[in-house]
Amino acid sequence: MRILGFPVQIRPGFVLFMLLIVVVNGQPMGFWLAGSVTVFTLAHELGHAVAARRTGATASISLDFLAGYASYAPSRPLTRGERATIAIAGPAVQIVLGIVVLLAMGVDPLSHSDYASDYSSFAIWWAGPMIGLFNLIPVLPLDGGSLAGEIIDVFKPGRGRAIMTRISPPATAVAFVTMVLVPDLRPLAAFAAILLVLQMQIVSARSESSRGPELLERRRRMMADAEDAAWRTGRPGLLVPPHVMSPWWEARSNMDGGRIDEARQVILDDLDGRRGGAWWPPHAARPDQLNDIVSALIDTLPEPNADHRTQSAIVIIDVLLRTGHHQTAADYGARVFALSRSGHVAIQVARGTAALGDDERAAQWLTVAARSDAEPTTLLEALLHAPEFDRLRLRPEIAELIRSLGSPR
């Protein structure tokens, strides 16, 4: 789905969160509140996205459990002022839009007896101005925390966000304890608890990134397990942002709902870098689960250019091979390689060429891969296990290449 030109992804966790709001608050308040939160969360993230686009950045939006996220990729280094503007744009839009809607309804947003007199006005008051103001509290991951980080950065260049990451959890913990002990503030304790959980995730992610390749591999395994399980069971797992399900899984979901154009656009947006998040390729998908997506994509696959994400192009080539489009995979891969010089692309082109029966050219592509940036373990894995290379393994130069990469074969 696209709104104002931005890709918008609504994840199962967001739907679950809305259902919880309905269950906890009952009818009709639950429905008014869930609907208002949905609309104002989307407006909030669009505020971030529009502000980011004004700086030349590309942006995408994801709505997930407890929160929404606007991811953006700058086309140039942003100034502190620009980053601060992007941070404040979301809550500003949310607050102003909420006040405008309430005034249009004839409701005074400053009068408790006025906005609390009806389920609709109370839900809009809460989901609009109040959550917008809550987002300006100066702790991470709220926008107020990002804004505070930019201010600190003026005095401690490059350290603003790191300092906010350290002080946000204890500050929120103190607020949580205060809310629990003060009866009038007790209803707000749940929000502080949610903040603490999100902050612990941020601290954990920073800790993991500093503890080396072992934890990096664990996070990769988490993404792989969630993606693979989704294709096998039809039920996607929950991932901690910025990890997301692959665009191929989202495209499959669109296909199942008859949204062919949206399915195609998801893949193209990811190729163009307009979709945020780290994801795992659909290795566990069966060819029949991918055929419809490829059929919708293959005639509109754009000519490779330097702005395309190489990793996304590699996955497209792999999917083309797995669904039997060997010639298209080889031709498209060769054009991608001309721009990227990626050894991983060369491996995929070799697979396509070998599948077409041109062993001589396939061997040449494998030699190119060995001399480029392809990881030796990745190349060796492909040489030993890719079915397209069964005949090639009998060639003397390929057998020697396998030996040089560390296999006793």
Give tens-digit pLDDT for 28-45: 999 999 999 999 999 999
Q: Which of 117, 136, 155 lies at the terminal end of a domain, its last residue?
A: 136
What pLDDT was estimated at residue 210?
Answer: 52
* Domain assignment present for 225: no
206's CB contacts (< 8 A; 6+ apart) are 165
Q: Which residue has the higher pLDDT, 215 or 242?
A: 242
198-206 long-range CB contacts below 8 Å, 24 or more apart? 198/66, 198/67, 198/141, 199/139, 199/140, 199/141, 199/168, 199/169, 199/172, 200/169, 201/240, 202/140, 202/141, 202/165, 203/165, 203/169, 205/240, 206/165
Q: Please say which residue of 136, 169, 192 terminates a domain.
A: 136
Q: Among 71-75, 170-174, 381-385, which is the least confidently predicted range?
A: 71-75
Q: Read off the pLDDT band of 371 (50, 70, 90).
A: confident
- Confidence (pLDDT) at 295: 94
Of residues 313 and 182, the one with the higher pLDDT is 313
According to the model, what pLDDT value does residue 219 have?
76
Whether the CA torsion 220, 149, 95, 51 is positive or negative: it is negative
Residue 211 has pLDDT above 60, yes or no: no
Check: CB of residue 17 under 8 Å from CB of residue 63. Answer: no
Strand extents, DSSP E, 211-276: none
268 assigned to some structural domain: yes
pLDDT, one tens digit per residue, over 10-30 is: 888 889 989 988 998 888 999
117 and 258 both lie in a single domain: no
Contact 261, 297 (CB under 8 A): no
DSSP letter, residue 329: H
Domain span at 291:
243-404
Two structure tokens written together for 324: 């039997």
Whether 199 maps to a domain, the answer reads no
Statement: residue 107 has pLDDT above 50: yes
Alpha-carbon gap, residue 204 to 316, rounded angstroms? 33
pLDDT exceeds cutoff 70 at 238: no
**pTM assigned to the model:** 0.55
128 and 247, same domain (yes or no): no
Residue 409 has a pLDDT of 46
Q: Is residue 68 predicted with pLDDT exceeding 90?
A: no
pLDDT at 230 (0 to 100): 86
**Mean pLDDT of all residues in 335-364:** 93
What is the Cα–Cα distance from 286 to 322, expressed in whole angstroms?
A: 9
Ramachandran class of 277: left when φ > 0, alpha when ψ lies in -120 to 50, beta otherwise:
left
H or E segment and range at residue 302: none
Q: Do residues 106 and 253 share a domain? A: no
Q: Which of 136, 152, 177 delimits the end of a domain?
A: 136
Among 160-174, 315-329, 395-409, the minimum mean pLDDT is found in 395-409
Structure tokens at 186: 């007790």
Q: Could you tell me if residue 19 is inside a domain?
A: yes
- Rounded to whole angstroms, how far apart are CA atoms 208 and 216? 7
Same domain (yes/no): 258, 123: no
Give the span between the Cα atoms of 231 and 213, in whole angstroms. Answer: 27
CATH code for position 290: 1.25.40.10
Record the tokens describing residue 268, joined without a space. 């193209």
What whole-number percentage of the chain has pLDDT above 90? 50
Which of 113-117, 150-154, 296-300, 319-323 shows the lowest mean pLDDT across its residues?
Answer: 150-154
| 145 located within any domain | no
Q: Is the pLDDT of residue 365 over 90?
A: yes
Query: Which residue type sits at 329?
Result: A
Q: List, for residues 180-194, the tens digit of each pLDDT value.
A: 898 877 767 877 888
**395 found inside a domain:** yes
255 and 388, same structural domain?
A: yes
Count of domains forming the chain: 2
Q: Is residue 307 part of a domain?
A: yes
What's residue 248's pLDDT? 95
Residue 9 gets which letter from DSSP? E
Asked whether residue 366 is assigned to any structural domain, the reply reads yes
pLDDT score recorded for residue 109: 93
Same domain as 256, residue 107: no
